[in-house]
């Protein structure tokens, strides 16, 4: 047990008097965080999240909400940085915040800033936004009710990114391959009017490629078998997008 010793020579306190012991500086109570799609996180990572929020609170006068997203939330300590989404109506200079986080926490930070209108628009039209917020830690509780809208030209731009896998298969790392596969599968499921989440996308990857996502990340892949399935799904997705564009839909 901790013990607190009171000097023997003291003014105003007789032996047997009750006293209240408290710190000279009152600590701000730790705010509750909200976990979405995150079952557990290592205590050290949680400390980093709290410290990041504390830094941002000092640098910004106000913001609507803050989300920790991305690979930082994966199990283990294989992350290279921490991805943060800040929702605010005022313009935010992320170039001032990122160095402060790296200096004080020792972890590189990538900050994305959006206002509520931009975020809602993204959740309506972009499967990557849905996937991004399907697994996150939020500073405040959030509920976004949006109707899914097909913007085929935007989906075409996103899908084009995944073409890099077939052309650069041998030089891409496992993590890079996984990101490109995940991007394609998210669009593929979105076109089927599915509500996109990290879990759903990973399950579809495992089903479609008959391989665990961890093996993709570790670059343990049968190239010929994998690329055959990849091209098939990519072409099906591309054709569906083209039909949408030809029919005059955005």
Please check whether residue 236 is in contact with residue 188, taking contact to mean a CB–CB distance below 8 angstroms.
Answer: yes
Q: Are residues 39 and 131 in the same domain?
A: yes
Q: Is the pTM of this model over 0.95?
A: no
Look at residue 22 and tell me if it is in a domain.
no
Q: Are residues 134 and 86 in the same domain?
A: yes
Q: Are residues 133 and 156 in the same domain?
A: no
CATH number, residue 53? 3.30.460.10
Look at residue 86 and tell me if it is in a domain.
yes
Query: What DSSP designation does 136 have?
Result: E
Please check whether residue 138 is in contact with residue 182, taking contact to mean a CB–CB distance below 8 angstroms.
Answer: no
Look at residue 222 and tell me if it is in a domain.
yes
Q: Are residues 132 and 173 in the same domain?
A: no
Each residue's pLDDT, cut to its tens digit, for the chain (250 residues) gives 455 555 555 555 666 665 565 554 444 445 689 999 998 899 999 999 999 999 999 999 899 999 999 989 988 887 888 999 999 998 888 888 999 999 999 999 999 999 999 999 999 889 999 999 999 999 999 887 777 888 999 999 999 999 999 999 999 999 999 999 999 999 999 999 998 999 999 999 999 999 999 999 999 999 999 999 999 999 999 999 999 998 865 4
Q: Are residues 129 and 65 in the same domain?
A: yes
Give SS3 for 123: helix
Residues written for the chain: 250
Q: Are residues 158 and 242 in the same domain?
A: yes
SS3 content of the chain, % helix, strand, coil (to 5): 50, 10, 40
Q: Are residues 112 and 162 in the same domain?
A: no
Q: Are residues 134 and 226 in the same domain?
A: no
Q: Are residues 46 and 121 in the same domain?
A: yes
Q: What is the spatial distance between Cα 72 and Cα 77, in angstroms, rounded to a whole number?
A: 8
Structural domain of 45: 34-138
Q: Are residues 60 and 110 in the same domain?
A: yes
Q: Are residues 180 and 240 in the same domain?
A: yes
Which residues does residue 109 pair with via DSSP β-bridges, in sequence order?
82
């Amino acid at each position: 047990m901790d013990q607190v010793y009171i000097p023997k020579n003291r003014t105003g306190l007789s032996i047997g008097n009750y006293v209240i012991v408290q710190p000279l500086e009152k600590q701000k109570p730790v705010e509750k965080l909200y976990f979405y799609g995150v079952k557990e996180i290592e205590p050290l990572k949680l400390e980093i999240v709290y410290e990041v929020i504390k830094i941002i609170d000092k640098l910004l006068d106000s913001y609507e909400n803050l989300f920790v997203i991305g690979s930082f939330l994966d199990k283990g300590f294989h992350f290279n940085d921490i991805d943060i989404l800040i929702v605010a109506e005022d313009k935010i200079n992320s170039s001032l915040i990122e160095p402060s986080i790296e200096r004080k926490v020792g972890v590189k930070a990538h900050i994305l800033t959006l206002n509520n209108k931009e975020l809602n628009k993204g959740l309506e039209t972009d499967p990557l936004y849905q996937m991004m917020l399907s697994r996150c830690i939020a500073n405040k509780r959030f509920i976004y009710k949006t109707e899914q809208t097909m913007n085929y030209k935007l989906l075409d731009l996103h899908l084009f990114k995944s073409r890099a896998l077939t052309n650069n298969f041998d030089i891409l790392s496992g993590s890079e391959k996984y990101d490109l596969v995940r991007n394609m599968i998210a669009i593929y499921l979105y076109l089927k009017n599915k509500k996109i989440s990290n879990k759903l996308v990973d399950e579809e990857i495992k089903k479609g490629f008959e391989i665990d996502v961890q093996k993709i990340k570790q670059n343990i892949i049968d190239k010929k078998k994998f690329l055959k399935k990849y091209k098939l799904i990519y072409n099906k997705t591309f054709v569906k997008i083209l039909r949408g564009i030809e029919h005059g839909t955005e």
